[in-house]
Amino acid sequence: MRPSGRDVSELRPVSIETGVTKHAEGSCLIRMGDTHVLCTATLEERVPPFLKNSGLGWVTAEYGMLPRATTTRMRREAAQGKQGGRTVEIQRLIGRALRAGVDRVALGERQITIDCDVIQADGGTRCASITGGWVALRLAVNKLMKTGEVISDPLVDPVAAVSCGIYAGQPVLDLDYPEDSEAGVDGNFVMTGSGKLIEVQMSAEGSTYTRAQMNALLDLAEKGVAELVAAQKAAVGA
């Protein structure tokens, strides 16, 4: 029995509210149960130095947590003078995941930065950031296409992510914090709307797992991502 009473293959309630900040080129507030992440897309007509004059675009991401997004207050990273290892690891994952779904030639030589800021955390913030981040990205690209700055759609297939893990011996979909802190094995699965894999990260903490268990989690992830992609499409009106 899951602490939330959910079925093993049941996502938390998902809501994606778009247009939540007036300044960003794209934005949404994604809620996966009690995990709430504000995602904004910033469009800039410049690229990092290594892409100058390449004709290729760039998508990158930054991640943060408000100090009291968690049960006990965490120290503010800006006040500590550096981003923690976990933050760095997560924002590199978000950037890599979103880039995998972008045709960078079609985007052209410009950069889109996705900021994912966790307002409230209850497990699965990196997956929610990817799913919500893609919505912000989609909205920013829509603007570029509306103005004709971009002709061919660089986002051919949505990108979404979900976590799965083995909780109380049972493979379950979309871990919340009480499950996540108990699970000996958990994974984050980034996939496309058409069911292709982009990134799999599956770790055991003080434990191991079998290929059969891995496959069971992949099956759950496929189901979850399909539902998340439907929510993304509804949110962006596609």
Region of 8-16, 45-53, 79-87, 145-153 interacting with a second copy (CB under 8 A): 79-87
**Is there binding between residue 28 and a second copy (CB under 8 A)?**
no
Name the residue nearer to a second copy (CB basis): 36 or 234: 36
Of 80, 162, 68, 81, nearest to 117 by C-alpha is 68
Tokens of 228: 């998340």
Q: Which of 7, 55, 89, 168 binds a second copy (CB under 8 A)?
A: 89
124 labelled binding-site residue? yes
Residues in the chain: 238
Q: Are 166 and 214 in contact (CB under 8 A)?
A: no
Q: Residue 235: CB partners within 8 Å, gap ≥ 6?
A: 16, 17, 18, 28, 135
Tokens of 231: 């929510």
Site string for a second copy, 104-123 (x = CB under 8 A): x--------x-x-x-xx---
Site for a second copy in 195-224 (CB under 8 A): 196-211, 214, 218
**Is there binding between residue 17 and a second copy (CB under 8 A)?**
no
Of 223, 162, 230, 225, nearest to 192 by C-alpha is 225
**Is there binding between residue 169 and a second copy (CB under 8 A)?**
no
Name the residue nearer to a second copy (CB basis): 153 or 199: 199
SS3 235: helix
DSSP secondary-structure letter at 95?
H
55 labelled binding-site residue? no
Tokens of 138: 């989609």
Q: Find the shortest distance in angstroms from Cβ 53 to a second copy.
A: 19
**Is there binding between residue 181 and a second copy (CB under 8 A)?**
no
β-bridge pairing 159-167 and 170-173: antiparallel
Give residues in contact with a second copy (CB under 8 A). 21-24, 27, 34, 38, 40, 42, 44, 62, 64, 66-71, 73, 76-83, 85-89, 91-92, 96, 99-100, 102, 104, 113, 115, 117, 119-120, 187, 192, 196-211, 214, 218
Binding residue ranges for phosphate: 86, 124-126
